[in-house]
Chains A and B, each alone.
Chain A
Amino acid sequence: MATYTLDITKEHCPMTFVRTILKLSQIAKDDILEVFLSEGEPLENVPRSAEEQGFKILKLEHVEGSIHKVTIQK
């Protein structure tokens, strides 16, 4: 079970969830993806859309300032 990271703090719609979903499609089942994202639209929609597509949200934590980290398991 490997852990990968993805930084989408500088991305905008729709590339925030496009990059997340593409990364999730590249990793193996049960692998972990830690996504660093900004407040607002990415924070509201990335975890929700990942969950809707059957991925498991393990943790959602505040990193610093407006940056958050969501831990997703494939």
Chain B
Amino acid sequence: MNKLFVNSNLINIISSKIKNMAENKKLSIIAFSGDFDKLTAVFTLATGAAALGYEVNIFFTFWGLDAVKKNAGRSLTGKGFWGKVFGFMMGGIRNTPTTRFNFFGFGPFMFRKMMRKANVATLEELVEAAKALGINMYLCEMAIQVLGLKQDDFIHEVKETLGIATFLNISEGGRSLFI
């Protein structure tokens, strides 16, 4: 009897969770990678979902921060000597390498060219669309501390700098992806 009670309780909890997920059109993405192709996937999914009426949240951390830096190219952004060195080496959205076939930056150059030729939105165009669609963009507090960065170093569409606990609260009840 007890076992049956526990099981039916568990079923109720699971079915209410599934119901919430189906009702809440929400997509939360942790953008960890700074690779051109993976960031393209992040923004393709994000803009597509936002246009379909989803609430979309992106949490940029470590290499993924490159996508939303104010300086699109290389700059001495960052606090302290090593912060500046890292800032210069990481660069911005224009310096994102491809996961494969990077060839010292020739890969992303060719990809952008091929994307334009095929009339497919480039990474920069997808970021612009994300801004226009009002996608919620957040920065990882820990990562920007490590890299000696501050919220002012990022595009003004970034909503807030958060810790993981707050982001988990925001993403509750929806689908989450780590890219």
* Residues on A facing B (Cβ under 8 Å): 10-15, 17-18, 20-22, 49, 52-53
Q: Chain B: residues with CB nearer than 8 A to chain A?
A: 44, 47-48, 50-53, 118-121, 125, 129, 132-133
Contacts of B47 in A (CB 8 A): 14-15, 18
The CA of A17 and the CA of B44, in the complex, are separated in Å by 12
B146 smallest CB distance to A (angstroms): 32
Q: Classify the interface of chain A: helix, strand, loop or mixed.
A: helix
From B118, B125, B129, A22 is in contact (CB under 8 Å) with B129
State how many angstroms separate the Cβ of B161 from the closest Cβ of chain A: 27
* Contact present for B52 and A20 (CB under 8 Å): no
Determine the distance from Cα of A22 to Cα of B131 in the docked complex, in whole angstroms.
11
Could you list 27 examples of A-B contacts with CB < 8 Å?
A10-B119, A12-B119, A12-B120, A13-B44, A14-B44, A14-B47, A14-B51, A14-B121, A15-B120, A15-B125, A15-B129, A17-B48, A17-B52, A18-B48, A18-B129, A18-B133, A21-B51, A21-B133, A22-B51, A22-B129, A22-B132, A22-B133, A49-B51, A49-B52, A49-B53, A52-B52, A52-B53
